[in-house]
Structure 1
Amino acid sequence: MFETLAALLFAHALADFLLQPAAMAAAKRRPVMLAAHGGVVLATALLASGSLHPALLVLTVLHMATDYAKARLPARFATFLADQALHLATLAAIAATAPAIWAGGLWSGMTALPPLYALLAGAIIAIRAGGFAIGQLMQPWADQIALDGLPGGGRAIGHLERGLIFLMVLGGMAEGIGFLIAAKSVLRFGTVREEAKLSEYVIIGTLASFAWALVTAFATLALLAHLAPLGIPDFTP
């Protein structure tokens, strides 16, 4: 079951966060765009699992139905969370009811592949999906803040900090996160000390970003515990 879940989770992360252009995501009210995204979802599930199991078609239909409903709701943080929660619940349900998807697939003999899928899916969700989530969370306040930094600089910082946190937790160096918080606080201090709104904006965004990365990292560790070991040594001495 967990091998199937890892493969489907990796396929989902690819389809939703790496292979879905912004134009496609914004136009899923149109049947053609929704069908195109559904095609990507099905293709990634087929390739990741190496299987032609009919449950993957069911997965695709349920994914499209969820996206159809989401496209008719406001683009908010709560909507994003609800959408992803439904997708994850669908993945878990398919993996539980059709656990043989992986065992009957072309890649079933490659025991290192499911944990690698879990690791890559966790990284994509921590870094890329986290960017979308935090962006939507902060959107209600974004118009009230004057940001004069580099174009896309805040997004890049967020990606880097979530990536570092993900690596620290999986490498057994979670205590290093405190150093990351301290370093960011020092670097941001001169920018926000005289502007209350900007200070609060940065604090909320930073804490949300850190929390997203931590939850994703520990969830990834929980999934990896049920899979074959990858053989990656611990970072700690």
Structure 2
Amino acid sequence: METARLSFGLAAAVLVPMGLAWPGSRPWRTVLFTLAYGVYAAAPYADGQRPWVALAVAVLLSLGCVLWKHPAGMPEVGFTVTMPLMVGRLARTRRASVAVLVGAVFLALWAAGATVVPLMREAALSDEIAVFLSAALVSVFGGGALARSVTGPVRREILALPDSPERRAAVEFMSAGRAIGLLERGLLFAFLAAGQPEAAALVLAAKSLARVPTSEHGKHASEYFLIGTLASVIASLGMSMAARSAVGLPIL
């Protein structure tokens, strides 16, 4: 139970301020929340060393994110605070942010070394994990290449249209699709590889509700949407079936 309390508690301590966008707007509140909630999560196990090392990792992660969001220096808190890592030129503070985040990672690995190293070794040598990881990468990024290839003719037709509100709307619709496509293929592959095609269908339904082109985008945008979606489905379905078959599972 100690591991579960620390894991969930420290994850909340770091991720709640990020979800509230505090690193950019309320940097000091971000660090203080992470520290306060982290102490709450670690307090019942105060007699051990690792809980406090884990808390230090969470605070460093939070501080690193704040520094990245404020490359020109930290805002004042109402009184003068001299902290060399938080002042200076943009490049210097961004480097400090990277150094803090890297330090947090190494501190976490050092604290959990006895547990993490065997797990990492087992994961690195696992054929099943390698197959699914490789298939996921091919699905997400190779599927993106497939989608760009098959939607190329439609994209060229849209760009060749005379300037009009319809053309501008269609170009804007296309430009917003890359990140959505990556997420779509990742989720589709994950659900299909886990043997849950019903959940994969929900992903497509959610995308259709949130991103379906309207009449103002024109028929070319509808074609682009349909062809790109089908390409993503083909890539995710094909790679998930291949991966499941390779490790001896039913293809669906």
Q: TM-score range by the shorter chain?
A: 0.3 to 0.5
Bigger radius of gyration among the two: 2
- Could you say which structure has the greater relative contact order, defined with CA pairs below 8 angstroms and 6 or more residues apart? 1
Q: TM-score, normalised by structure 1?
A: 0.45
Q: TM-score, normalised by structure 2?
A: 0.42
More helix per residue: 1 or 2?
2
